[in-house]
Amino acid sequence: MLANSRFGRTVPDLTPFQSFFPNPFLILYVKMRVIRAVAALNSGCTVGSRHGVRYFSLGCRIAVNTPSFRAPSFHLESRRLLSGTMSRAAAMSAAEAALKQAKETAAFNMTPEAAAARMSPEESKRLMQVRNIGIAAHIDSGKTTVTERILYYTGRVKAIHEVRGRDGVGAKMDSMELERERGITIQSAATFADWKKKENGVEETYHINLIDTPGHIDFTIEVERAMRVLDGAVMVMCAVSGVQSQTITVDRQMKRYNVPRITFVNKMDRMGSNPFRACEQINNKLKVPAALIQIPIGSEKEFEGVVDLIEMRAIRNEGNRGINVKVSNEIPAELQELAQQKREELIEKLADVDDEMAEIFLDEQIPTNAQIKAAIRRATIGLKFTPVMMGTALADKAVQPMLDAVCDYLPNPTDVTNMALDRSKNEEPAELYPYNSLPFVGLAFKLEENPYGQLTYMRVYQGSLKKGSYLFNSRTDKKVRIPRIVRMHSSEMEDTAEVGAGEICAVFGVECASGDTFTDGKLPYGMSSMFVPDAVMSLSIKPKRSSDADAFSKAMNRFMREDPTFRLHVDSESEETIISGMGELHLDIYVERLRREYKVDCETGQPRVAYRETISKRADFDFLLKRQSGGPGDYARVVGYIEPNEADAEKNKFETKVVGGTIPDKFLSACGKGFQEVCEKGPLLGHMVIGSSMTITDGATHVTDSSDYAFNLATQMAFKKAFSEAGGQVLEPLMKTTITAPSEFQGNILMLMNKRGTIVDTEVGADDFTMVAECSLNAMFGFSSHLRAATQGKGEFSMEFSHYAAAPPHLQKELVAKYQKELDDKRSK
């Protein structure tokens, strides 16, 4: 029985609807819908609520899922009521409109429990068998190669093509020319496939929506947004390298969005492969409890397949490209002892993280296979464990058992709690439920322009999305029609008329920004956006031919819309276009895409660090701008102070505390604009000012010479003048740098890093070590070649932006002098 409070929430006061429904019959109908929800809620029990009892007494209790609920009687009734005054057709359409509205209102009022109870067996089966997963890992670990196998084994592609394969076709998911040429994934790509999982002679079809993400840190936003919307992930690891620097970043992203994961140790065919070490590293380096659920049969070139430690059976691949899975109950004799030992380790690990398994373990009972599987599922979804599998995608071995594990251990949309923020209740969190009959809530997580227009990738969290329906963008409050819905298969599309709750799709013709929430207009919900890292690298760019200006700006607009980590601004003084992004490769790819996709050749400047400027103490100002040049002059006096913005070191704040109207409001807003403008281009280096606050307390005007312009300018000049007295500082981006290398090189790396930053953490494993350091980006130019030289090419590193910190005085001096010289040179030209 449900608590009254919950019930109370579900039966709202209906009076507001009476203005919508002047017809008393319609009001009754709405009430009936609400009660139906109540009936469903309580499975026919009497409801202990005043409202509930009252409505029941009206005799409106309707059995769940009965056709009568679709209210054909209402249809007839309303027609009869209206027929006296309207034409038959008009009456029909009015009745239909009223019915539609009544249905929508009822959906709005429906409780999640009622919606769950109302689900048809087909819908609930569909939901149980949906998996929204991402493939994420360190660069080059084989994500795209694994995905290609998934597509082949599920029948989505008829032939396998390799990343940078000899046939020159390239993997399905790396559809961009540049990706195929360079053999790296640049953009995440979505696809879907149906996997038929066989267990105990029964075949079940699972619908898998999958996103293959890039591994390179410069494209980290692609992983970020995939993790934001997916329910689970497959973490791919290289069997030789184990946990690598970028695995650590991906691990952080998975933790940030609470994404459960299974682990696939790939490249078992490579020399030196060691899944046991990889599993140990997940435990020790990532601090994620992990245990093998398989052990390998053979190794390196002799790798044949795996022993499934739960069912204690051998799994091998046969047939063209390993299409057939051969299961045998005979475990090779030499592996039996190891299999038994690793199975016990698995159970022990599960007992550490799962209460039910702990009980079985403490009672010294032997868990059944079903109990082990259930414990793995619970612990994985509960973010307490990751099961570790292994195989080799390139050699087509042991990929199918990983697909089974996706179905067995990763969550379906109902297993995951997704929250929206209720704007009508001060952004209070509100849970979303993946049921078709509830009002629609979806998140646009990725935009892409293709030859047919703008494509918006959307995760449907609640309700279903129908072609031709209308949605509201909760940020802009604009209503948009959804003319076309597609399911993506890398760069190809398949049209569909409807997408159910909990799924992923793409829609055409929707103007929006990445991260916008869509609703059907009834719920005041928005969803928290994804984490967008700051840009740390910039360069000046301009088309070589002036006739390319249009194509250039079209391309730039597109890139900015699609990628929130790619930014552009025009330097007002030099009039240079500056693009900024996550790193050299990131910017390089866009310059190359301009050339290939838009046929625009560009000249670029040297990559530059995106510095910031700030102040460290309070400084007062009293600034008078008084200029006379023949005609009307400029007059503005502003008095006040600037100080660090204690509340938010990343943002600027403008305040006015003028008493007695010494500066009228309209000039004060010009002051605000002036402050904003001066912060765009700081006094020291011309980089953005952050973390400063400006307060205007007093001032003076002139009858004829004061203007918006004068106050805007006076504010800018006052700020610049007070800036050095306020301890003006250059801030430089500090990068969280993770380095992994064989242990013998620890000394060399220590020397390299001591010069570049502060070492935060070092972890030494059996063969290799991981060092985490905070380094200024400036010190990291050319680091990859130094690292290569210091580690005989065996060391790796990845960097991500951590925060801004004051640049050392000598660097600040050097940078300021360089900037001044640039300005002087320009002036003297």
Ligand X SMILES: Nc1nc2c(ncn2[C@@H]2O[C@H](COP(=O)(O)OP(=O)(O)OP(=O)(O)O)[C@@H](O)[C@H]2O)c(=O)[nH]1
Binding-site sequence positions for GTP: 137-144, 212-216, 266-269
Distance, C-alpha 788 to centroid of its chain: 33
Residues 266-295 interacting with ligand X (rule: CB under 6 A): 266-267, 269-270
Residues 161-220 interacting with ligand X (rule: CB under 6 A): 162-164, 183-185, 214-216
Pairing label, strands 484-489, 504-508 = antiparallel
For residue 603, give Cα distances in angstroms to 57, 358, 390, 587.
79, 64, 47, 13
Contacted by 686, from Mg ion, ligand X, none: CB < 5 to 8 Å by type:
none
Pairwise CA distance, residues 498 & 149, whole Å: 28
Is residue 261 near ligand X by the rule CB under 6 A? no
Pairwise CA distance, residues 34 & 107, whole Å: 9
* Total residues binding Mg ion (CB under 5 A): 3
Is residue 112 near ligand X by the rule CB under 6 A? no
Distance of closest approach, residue 278 Cβ to Mg ion, in angstroms: 19
Residue with nearest beta carbon to ligand X: 215
Burial 586-619 (b: 16+ CB within 10 A, else e): bbebbbbbbeeebebebeeeebebbbbbbbeeeb
Interacting residues of 107 by C-beta distance below 8 A, sequence separation 6+: 437, 438, 439, 463, 522
In the complex with ligand X, which residue's Cβ is closer, 179 or 448?
179
Is residue 738 near Mg ion by the rule CB under 5 A? no
For 213-260, where are the E strands, in sequence order? 232-238
In the complex with ligand X, which residue's Cβ is closer, 216 or 736?
216
Distance of closest approach, residue 115 Cβ to ligand X, in angstroms: 39
Is residue 143 near Mg ion by the rule CB under 5 A? yes
Distance of closest approach, residue 741 Cβ to Mg ion, in angstroms: 24
Counting every residue written for the chain, the total comes to: 829
- What's the CA dihedral at 86, 92, 97, 98 to 10 degrees? 70
Distance of closest approach, residue 171 Cβ to Mg ion, in angstroms: 7
x/- string (CB under 5 A) for Mg ion, residues 569-588?
Answer: --------------------
Pairwise CA distance, residues 83 & 89, whole Å: 10
Show the CA angle centred on residue 611, arms to residues 249 and 253, nearest 5°: 15
In the complex with ligand X, which residue's Cβ is closer, 95 or 238?
238
User: Is the CB of residue 597 less than 8 Å from the CB of residue 186?
Assistant: no
Residues 492-551 interacting with Mg ion (rule: CB under 5 A): none
In the complex with ligand X, which residue's Cβ is closer, 269 or 800?
269
In the complex with ligand X, which residue's Cβ is closer, 588 or 708?
588
Contacted by 533, from Mg ion, ligand X, none: CB < 5 to 8 Å by type:
none
Contacted by 269, from ligand X, Mg ion, none: CB < 5 to 8 Å by type:
ligand X
In the complex with Mg ion, which residue's Cβ is closer, 144 or 778?
144
Read off the tokens for 815.
């940078």
Pairwise CA distance, residues 198 & 200, whole Å: 7
Using CB under 6 A, which of the segments 391-399, 591-599, 668-676, 722-730 binds ligand X? 391-399
Of 132, 145, 274, 707, which one interacts with ligand X (CB under 6 A)? 145
Read off the tokens for 745.
């090189």
Interacting residues of 598 by C-beta distance below 8 A, sequence separation 6+: 548, 551, 552, 554, 555
Contacted by 255, from Mg ion, ligand X, none: CB < 5 to 8 Å by type:
none
Pairwise CA distance, residues 780 & 238, whole Å: 26
Of 49, 144, 274, 464, which one interacts with Mg ion (CB under 5 A)? 144
x/- string (CB under 6 A) for ligand X, residues 220-259?
Answer: ----------------------------------------
Distance of closest approach, residue 340 Cβ to Mg ion, in angstroms: 37
Contacted by 266, from Mg ion, ligand X, none: CB < 5 to 8 Å by type:
ligand X
In the complex with ligand X, which residue's Cβ is closer, 165 or 509?
165
Contacted by 812, from ligand X, Mg ion, none: CB < 5 to 8 Å by type:
none
Is residue 397 near Mg ion by the rule CB under 5 A? no
Pairwise CA distance, residues 489 & 652, whole Å: 44
Contacted by 142, from Mg ion, ligand X, none: CB < 5 to 8 Å by type:
ligand X
Amino acid symbol at 749: I
Pairwise CA distance, residues 112 & 102, whole Å: 18
User: What is the secondary structure of 741-762 as a DSSP string?
Assistant: EEGGGHHHHHHHHHTTEEEEEE
In angstroms, the first-to-last Cα distance of the chain is: 83
Is residue 640 near ligand X by the rule CB under 6 A? no
User: Is the CB of residue 640 less than 8 Å from the CB of residue 695?
Assistant: yes
User: Is the CB of residue 185 less than 8 Å from the CB of residue 212?
Assistant: yes
Pairwise CA distance, residues 593 & 591, whole Å: 6
- Residue 21's SS3 state is coil
Contacted by 139, from ligand X, Mg ion, none: CB < 5 to 8 Å by type:
ligand X
- What's the CA dihedral at 569, 508, 528, 3 to 10 degrees? 170
Is residue 394 near ligand X by the rule CB under 6 A? yes
Residues 633-652 interacting with Mg ion (rule: CB under 5 A): none
Using CB under 5 A, which of the segments 84-92, 142-150, 293-301, 685-693 binds Mg ion? 142-150
x/- string (CB under 5 A) for Mg ion, residues 16-55?
Answer: ----------------------------------------
In the complex with Mg ion, which residue's Cβ is closer, 144 or 706?
144
Pairwise CA distance, residues 145 & 162, whole Å: 7
Amino acid symbol at 118: R
Pairing label, strands 517-519, 441-450 = antiparallel
Is residue 701 near ligand X by the rule CB under 6 A? no
In the complex with ligand X, which residue's Cβ is closer, 270 or 586?
270
- Binding site, by residue number, is 137-144, 212-216, 266-269
Residue 166: burial class (beta carbons within 10 Å; 0-12, 13-18, 19+): exposed
Read off the tokens for 502.
């909990």
Residues 114-143 interacting with ligand X (rule: CB under 6 A): 137, 139-143
In the complex with Mg ion, which residue's Cβ is closer, 185 or 538?
185
Pairwise CA distance, residues 225 & 190, whole Å: 12
Show the CA angle centred on residue 649, arms to residues 648 and 653, nearest 5°: 60
Is residue 156 near ligand X by the rule CB under 6 A? no
In the complex with ligand X, which residue's Cβ is closer, 318 or 655?
318
* Total residues binding ligand X (CB under 6 A): 25
Is residue 185 near Mg ion by the rule CB under 5 A? yes
- The dihedral built from the CA positions of residue 758, 763, 766 and 768, taken in this order, carries a sign that is negative
In the complex with ligand X, which residue's Cβ is closer, 250 or 714?
250
Pairwise CA distance, residues 387 & 350, whole Å: 10
In the complex with Mg ion, which residue's Cβ is closer, 136 or 722?
136
Distance, C-alpha 501 to centroid of its chain: 19
User: Is the CB of residue 478 less than 8 Å from the CB of residue 424?
Assistant: no
Distance of closest approach, residue 541 Cβ to ligand X, in angstroms: 25
Distance of closest approach, residue 668 Cβ to ligand X, in angstroms: 52
In the complex with Mg ion, which residue's Cβ is closer, 582 or 696?
582
Contacted by 392, from Mg ion, ligand X, none: CB < 5 to 8 Å by type:
ligand X
Of 42, 144, 209, 701, which one interacts with ligand X (CB under 6 A)? 144
Helix (H) or strand (E) holding 282: helix 275-284
Note the residues at the interface with ligand X (CB under 6 A): 137, 139-145, 162-164, 183-185, 214-216, 266-267, 269-270, 392-395
Note the residues at the interface with Mg ion (CB under 5 A): 143-144, 185
